[in-house]
Structure 1
Amino acid sequence: MKKGKFVISLDFELVWGVFDHITLNKKIAYFDNTRKVIPHMLACFEKHEIKVTWATVGMLFNENWEEWLANLPDEKPTYTNLKLDAYAYGLEHRSAGLDRFFFAPDLIRFIQSTPGQELATHTYSHYYCLETGQTKRQFECDLDLAKKMATQFGATLHSLVFPRNQWNPDYLFSCQERGITQLRSNPDAWYWKDTSQSTLATKLFRTGDAYLPLGSTSYPMEKVTADFVTAQPASRFLRPHHGLSFLNSLRLQRIKNEMLQAAKEGAVYHLWWHPHNFGDHPKESMEALQEIAKWYLHLQAKFGFESVTMADLTAKLY
């Protein structure tokens, strides 16, 4: 009997993933909570023997602004939407005294020292692969720099998650050339097809799907496809804690039911979120994660449900 596979991937970004949507001085507690909760996440994963892929923005590897300024790509992205320019944003905020939200080498080393964790990439600058103005050459320069930063930490990158899930098939060969063997792809549902554009309908369905059975979730190993690199579809986004308790219960039960189905059917279930999604309600968010972790151990004991990283999953295909 096939054993189901439980994959967790985290988009580790801090400020670099959301700066175009926030006012930084209003998010100090939010990002401080994020930094504090990450070691608790890691302790939970270690205790429950859960393997996790940490898709990490390369800029977080820098120790300070001096190192950040010394690590510039050969070509920067030339987005038409200037609000997406991480380099301009960094220059504007480097004197804000909030370096801990822009750099996280301490947390990266914590990840590396925790058993079962895979250090992966979320590109160097949280690069948007479907935005107008940027080019494939600029993406390649960005990825080269991400690889360089990881090498300085003794890590080799094999897995990648496109920022904001902007899946660009034209860039897959560039990934393969740089040693990337697997990427997370989007769920197989119409409201996840184009993540660079969001309509009211796609937002409603993506939100509703977290609580109600609207779309596909787990999938057979055969659905993990290879086109230059292995594409591993996401199953479910662990949405942030909600103020309404019944929605939190629905969200958690939805995930547990999907995990159970995958374990019974010998299928893959891929859960993902951003560590900063725990920033507003760290205590309640950790309680939910603990419940998911305990449920995983139950399914592991009963059905042989197996926790794997993205790299592990690809390795099991060959």
Structure 2
Amino acid sequence: MGTVVISVDAELGWGFHDYEPGDRPTERIERSRWGWNRLADLFEEFRIPATWAIVGHLFESECNGAHVGHPSPPGWFDHERDPDPMPAEFRFAPDLIRSLVDGPVDHDIGSHTYSHVEFGESYATPELARAECERSVEVAEAAGLSLSSFIFPRNKLGHRAALAETGFTCYRGPAPEPAIDGPLLAPARKLARATVVDAAPPLVEPTVDEHGLVNVPASLFLYELQGPARRAIASAVGDPVLKQARLGIDAAAAGDGICHLWLHPNNVRREYDVEPLREILRYLDRARERTDLTVETMADVAEATLRGERQTAKQV
């Protein structure tokens, strides 16, 4: 019996706060609340639970931007207090979180760090990683929530010991790299990965690492190919990511692995971004009706793995 997992990197403006103001993707930030709500509506429409890994600062409703005692790099919180701060609606989101928690779908609320620190970067000291984990847990507990799932910002893994020490049980590891021949530059490799539509994305299996954490690797980023390029290809031969997602769902329905799909709310900016996602969720909903396919969250997978109910999991 296979499984589909969907995880969401929920960050609003925090996903880009370390960019120079002129380099921030304005539309992605300005449409991020709209995308969050549309995504939540789609999950509700098809009753599909997901893991929402939320930047911890979004649990708060206000702050002075000082964060005294937080061991962050110099200037890390300048966007909250400089002469032109990022608007509060993209720094705070207790309303969006409460809507998720109070809704009819039993989502898994996890962490995306407290302030979108990349744990794999040199500036992320052990002290900073621990503080980010601890503060994320604190603000979630203040909202009545317990966190167990963790997603690393920009998928840069690091300081996994800090996760284990602060009570997390699982994280999303990187997807297996597809075999693409030739010395392609990064943009070309990205296009190649997104348009190899005859191959299903890899099914993955959870593994337990040396810290006792369950790694639930990714299979497919649903918006790796975006904008005019995706629409042009879709108009010619059909949406390539939609095709890959369907193949992944079919593979999971026919096997015992996990098809782990992921995205950001800020990938969903216009109605033309919504429709392929609706088709994926509709396809998933129909697949679980006619097969033994299950839809689970990262927390569900981790719990079953640690209980020994997923026999394919292994110690690494």
Given the two structures, how large is their TM-score scaled by the length of structure 2? 0.84
Say if 2:201 and 2:247, in contact at 8 Å, map to a contact too: no
Per the alignment, residue 94 of structure 2 pairs with 105
Per the alignment, residue 211 of structure 1 pairs with 195
In structure 2, list runs of 5 or more residues that go unmatched. 308-316
Per the alignment, residue 312 of structure 2 pairs with none
Say if 2:204 and 2:259, in contact at 8 Å, map to a contact too: no
Amino acid of the structure 2 residue aligned with 1:34: S
Counterpart pick for 2:115 among 122, 125, 128: 125
Per the alignment, residue 220 of structure 2 pairs with 236
Task: Tell me the CA shift for residue 91 of structure 1.
Answer: 2.3
- Name the CA distance, whole Å, in 1 between partners of 2:232 and 2:249: 20
SS at match of 2:82: helix
Per the alignment, residue 291 of structure 1 pairs with 279
1:93-139 CA distance string (max 9 Å, x none): 6x547211111111111111122211100000101112223311111
SS at match of 2:262: strand
Given the two structures, how large is their TM-score scaled by the length of structure 1? 0.84
Counterpart pick for 1:225 among 208, 226, 240: 208
**Bigger mean CA deviation after superposition, 110-119 or 148-157:** 110-119
Per the alignment, residue 173 of structure 2 pairs with 185
Task: Tell me the CA shift for residue 292 of structure 1.
Answer: 0.6
Counterpart pick for 1:254 among 234, 238, 244: 244
Task: Tell me the CA shift for residue 310 of structure 1.
Answer: 0.4
Task: Tell me the CA shift for residue 224 of structure 1.
Answer: 3.0
Matched ranges for 1:15-54 at <5 A: 15-21=13-19, 23=21, 30-54=28-52
Per the alignment, residue 91 of structure 1 pairs with 81
Name the count of aligned residue pairs: 295
Higher helix proportion (structure 1 or 2): 1
Amino acid of the structure 1 residue aligned with 2:228: G
In structure 1, list runs of 5 or more residues that go unmatched. 192-198
Q: CA RMSD in A?
A: 2.6
- Name the CA distance, whole Å, in 2 between partners of 1:276 and 1:24: 18
Task: Tell me the CA shift for residue 218 of structure 1.
Answer: 3.2
Task: Tell me the CA shift for residue 241 of structure 1.
Answer: 3.9
Per the alignment, residue 60 of structure 1 pairs with 58
Say if 1:46 and 1:116, in contact at 8 Å, map to a contact too: no
Task: Tell me the CA shift for residue 243 of structure 1.
Answer: 1.6
Identity across the alignment (%): 24
Amino acid of the structure 1 residue aligned with 2:132: D
Matched ranges for 1:270-289 at <5 A: 270-279=260-269, 282-289=270-277
- Name the CA distance, whole Å, in 1 between partners of 2:86 and 2:154: 27
Per the alignment, residue 311 of structure 1 pairs with 299
Q: Indicate how the Cα distance of structure 1 residues 91 and 306 shifts in structure 2: closer, same or farther if over 3 A, else same.
A: same
